[in-house]
């Protein structure tokens, strides 16, 4: 049977499923790039999360490798063109952590408008700043979603429960598909100009890198709030800091950064109207089980029957 390496921490259900299917399985989280490169030639399958970098150099050492399975949605840590050239299939598990990420988006929105972070910090510091920290409600406001995949659709459903109007743009979907997902189709320009909250739900690609920059920030509605729980690098962080300092935007919240962890001198971290979490979107017990089960089942099905569920490239 194929030999599989899991190179990161993952829910125990993942190695269990491989072993139950008769696969040889090594679970070695914490390998350095050099250590991984020294052993990768032994394996037909590799399971990764977000820390392992599957580079062209690593792929060149992977003589037997047939599948890289990403327990999660983003594949920006995998050199997909190099894998394709080497006839290595890359799979991901989109949608398995959608509920966890979507709930964090809503939580960050509420934390911003109700000043939860600064209120907690000042209260623990001995202050009672009830009058200074009067907030606003999200009900009746407009939420613009740039990207409308599994997470975006889940955010839309939750937002509608709060009485929000939801606009959405996704270049891969037509208007009827967006409407069926519970949002009103809109252009990016319309979202920037009209939304009280803008939430990003895009992969990071050459086309989307720094999509939100000084120019696009200037087009956002004055007093709007920006949320990014998708991928670091979608936002020009220096430009966003300037927009927050000037008061053009009322606030912003991130779960992801261009560099993780962010540098101590990142200008966003010094601002009271910016809050952040350390890439916690998928860090729920439920999401961890979901992605672990999905990646194992997809890879097992590929090796047993050639099934291509979750494939992001073609190697035929």
Q: State the catalytic residue, choosing from 27, 160, 248, 279.
A: 279
Residue 74 DSSP SS3: coil
Residues 6+ apart with CB under 8 A from 126: none
Residue 91 DSSP SS3: strand
Output helix, strand, coil percentages for the chain, rounded to the nearest 5.
40, 15, 45
Token pair belonging to 204: 């990071």
Q: What is the CA radius of gyration of the chain?
A: 21
User: Annotated catalytic, 260?
Assistant: yes
Among candidates 29, 72, 34, 39, which has minimal Cα distance to 294? Answer: 72
Report the residue count for the chain: 316
User: Annotated catalytic, 248?
Assistant: no
Q: Which residues pair with 6 in a beta bridge?
A: 27, 47
User: Annotated catalytic, 103?
Assistant: no
Q: State the catalytic residue, choosing from 260, 286, 297, 309.
A: 260
- CA dist., res. 147 & res. 280, Å (int): 20
- CA dist., res. 180 & res. 166, Å (int): 12
Q: State the catalytic residue, choosing from 49, 70, 169, 231.
A: 231
The neighbour count for residue 285, using CB atoms within 10 Å, is: 9
Residues 6+ apart with CB under 8 A from 238: 267
Residues known to be catalytic: 231, 260, 279
């Amino acid at each position: 049977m194929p030999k599989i390496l899991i190179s990161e921490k993952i829910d125990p259900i993942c190695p269990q499923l491989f072993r139950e299917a008769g696969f040889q399985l090594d679970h070695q989280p914490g390998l350095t790039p050099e250590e991984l490169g020294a052993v990768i030639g032994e394996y037909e399958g590799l399971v990764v999360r977000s820390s392992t970098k599957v580079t062209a150099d690593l792929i060149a050492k992977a003589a037997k490798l047939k599948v890289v399975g990403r327990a999660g949605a983003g594949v920006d840590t995998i050199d997909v063109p190099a894998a394709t050239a080497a006839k290595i299939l890359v799979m991901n598990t989109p949608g398995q952590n959608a509920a966890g990420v979507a709930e964090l988006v809503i939580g960050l929105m509420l934390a911003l408008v109700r000043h939860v972070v600064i209120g907690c910090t000042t209260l623990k510091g001995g202050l009672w700043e009830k009058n200074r920290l009067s907030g606003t409600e999200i009900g009746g406001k407009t939420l613009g979603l740039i990207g409308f995949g599994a997470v975006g659709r889940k955010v839309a459903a939750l937002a509608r429960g709060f009485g929000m109007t939801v606009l959405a743009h996704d270049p891969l979907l037509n208007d009827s598909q967006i409407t069926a997902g519970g949002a009103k189709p809109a252009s990016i320009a319309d979202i920037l100009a009209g939304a009280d909250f803008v939430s990003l739900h895009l992969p990071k690609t050459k086309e989307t890198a720094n999509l939100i920059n000084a120019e696009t920030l200037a087009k956002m509605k004055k007093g709007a709030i920006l949320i990014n729980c998708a991928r670091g690098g979608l936002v020009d962080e220096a430009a966003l800091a300037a927009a927050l300092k000037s008061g053009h935007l009322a606030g912003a919240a991130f779960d992801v950064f261009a560099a993780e962890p962010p540098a101590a001198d990142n200008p966003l971290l010094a601002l009271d109207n910016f809050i952040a979490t350390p890439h916690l979107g998928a860090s729920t017990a439920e999401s961890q089980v979901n992605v672990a089960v999905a990646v194992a089942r997809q890879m097992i099905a590929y090796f047993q029957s050639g099934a291509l569920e979750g494939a992001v490239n073609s190697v035929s």
